[in-house]
Structure 1
């Protein structure tokens, strides 16, 4: 089996289909955009700090733990996407919509799980329960995601302005 070969900075696939940005033929590491990663992690951590303190006294700390996992995973995803270099508008839109859809789905599942007893007692059909969950998932996730990304943009701009790095040209 041939060893993985790196792709160039533009994201073209290597002949064997492996994407990477490493310097050598055996190095298929992914480049992360440091300002995007730092901005998202700092912003997400800030937004999670207050709810973590508040929910800890109510025993809802698993929600904060799940939120922290989501913030880390979405931050690494966005940093990896932006680390690949310039991209089209459609690719950039898809990069931002993907974590939002994951947030909507996560909140939908959470709301259905938390309210399933109440909805079953009200004899709501199961298909309606999931529509209800998706609606609440979108209602909860959308403003939270927008606040997180707007504050991440502010942190990212401060980070770059302070000399912490520069994002690849877009």
Structure 2
């Protein structure tokens, strides 16, 4: 039984920068991907907090990128099904939550704090510096990935659910 989220994290991480690519070469692409991976990891751990949750999504599948592709306009591309099989592992909710974390620093801080409080990181050395405190080079590399207007269609899909998850006893923020 699959108890880790690595296929889901890898596929969703691959999807985010493909929807909002870096400009500036290989280093910029790598920095953009690292930021996406940190956001997706935090979002996935929030969404699937227990080994049982991870096992269940591993058995049932996360749903794929079809709706996300449609929203971002990538659904009409002729795609070889074998070349894009990874898209079946993209999780729409995790992508939406990651988009929120990338574009709203306050939510990212609360998400990482929630993970730390919940003990999700125990035994796994994870640093979220590029998500929480991107330097100037990170900012340039992921300018599109962190642009609130560009990511709004994806972020807005499940933002309310993320805010509710992070502050269950507080009314939703606008």
TM over 0.5: no
Q: TM-score, normalised by structure 1?
A: 0.30
Bigger CA radius of gyration: 1
Q: TM-score, normalised by structure 2?
A: 0.29
Q: Which has the higher contact order (CA 8 A, sep 6+)?
A: 2
